[in-house]
Copies of this chain bind each other. A is one copy, B any other.
Amino acid sequence: MKTTLIAITVAAAFGASALCALAAEPIQIIEPAVITEPAKVELGKKLFFEPRLSKSGFLSCNSCHNLSLGGVDAIPTSIGHDWQEGPINAPTVLNAKYMLAQFWDGRAADLQEQAAGPIENPKEMAMEHHIALKVLESIPQYQAEFKAIYGEQGISLSTVTDAIAVFEETLVTPNSRFDQYLAGDHDALSAEEKAGYALFKANACSACHNGPAVGGTSYQKMGLVQPFVTDNPAQGRIDVTGKESDRNVFKVPTLRNIELTYPYFHDGSVWDLTEAVKVMQQVQLGLPLSDEEAGKIAAFLKTLTGEQPQITLPILPPSTAETPRPQPFGQ
């Protein structure tokens, strides 16, 4: 009788559809990549690994979104041109297509818009876009590939970033043990991992970390009930919206492959996954979590490690006499 009353009260408060959603799983299966434009994917892969898109000739997208390391650089903040210290922890490129927007503050609408940023950012690849385009135009093999794929459009910032984005859309990590569990294989998780998943839902982690990427579906304040103490200067989404209410508001990061994408948070301050779970519980919910409970949630989170993209290293076409030369030092 009491239970029924509570259920009715909850249904009245949230609406019947919300109640159904609560009953469903908050995480959806990651589907394998379906490649419809293989030539464009191959071109985008070359560009992703292309150090000549940087001023130094040394840094590529893969430098900080290393596909050997879960799509990150596994250091607190990234190394840019001239070893400049980046302002924020590099988010993983894996499953990035599921994010509602790109960058921690969501300042790029999609992968294509994102791709243009680090190339020109003076603290990252430090390469003026028009010189990057000259590099590609000077290389006959790139000219031919762009012509074959983009026709009259040829080599432009738009086509370069489109190819990179189309490649990045293939960087998904299906068939994790958790996906197998969602697909009906109840033995895919251990008892501890299942208990961790139950805690993950009961403690409302899944209120923000949901969807196929277990994150990336909303912006949330870091330090919702207690301040998140950091010396990292990033202000979050206020830089995009100008709204004071968006201070310290960041895109919720994906928890897919979280086992690989340490150190954690936008400041890369926490290396241990169990500790990260405890910090989140504290600053977002104001509730302490026992080591045992945090360990169970961490055990569940490790089941989100999926099959990593199998990448055959591209062979990049040689420069020519017309290719603008890299400027690694002192220029």
Please report A residues at the B interface, Cβ cutoff 8 Å.
Answer: 49, 51-52, 56-58, 63, 66-70, 73-76, 79, 82-83, 85, 259-260, 262, 271-272, 308, 310-316, 318-319, 321, 325-326, 328-329
Q: Contact check: which of B52, B63, B315 meets A308 at CB < 8 Å?
A: B315
Q: Quick check: B326 and A75 within 8 Å, CB to CB?
A: yes
**Chain B residues positioned under 8 Å from A313 (CB to CB):** 67-68, 310-313
CB pair B82–A83 under 8 Å, yes or no, is yes
Number of identical monomers bound together in the oligomeric complex: 2
Please state if A315 and B272 are interface contacts (CB–CB under 8 Å).
Answer: no
Q: CB-CB < 8 A to A271: which residues of B? A: 319, 321, 325
SS class, residues of chain A in contact with chain B:
loop
Nearest B residue to A309 by beta-carbon distance? Answer: B313
What CA separation (Å) do A56 and B77 show in the bound complex?
11
Contact A75 B49 (CB under 8 A): no
CA of A139 to CA of B272, assembled, Å:
14
A118 to chain B, nearest CB (A): 15
Cβ–Cβ contact B74 & A315, under 8 A: no
Interface core residue of A63, A73, A315 (most chain B CB under 10 Å): A315
The minimal Cβ–Cβ distance linking A73 to chain B, given in whole angstroms, is 6
| Smallest CB gap from A271: residue in B | B325
13 A-B residue pairings within 8 Å (CB atoms): A51-B69, A51-B74, A52-B74, A56-B79, A57-B73, A58-B63, A76-B328, A83-B329, A259-B318, A262-B319, A271-B321, A310-B313, A311-B313
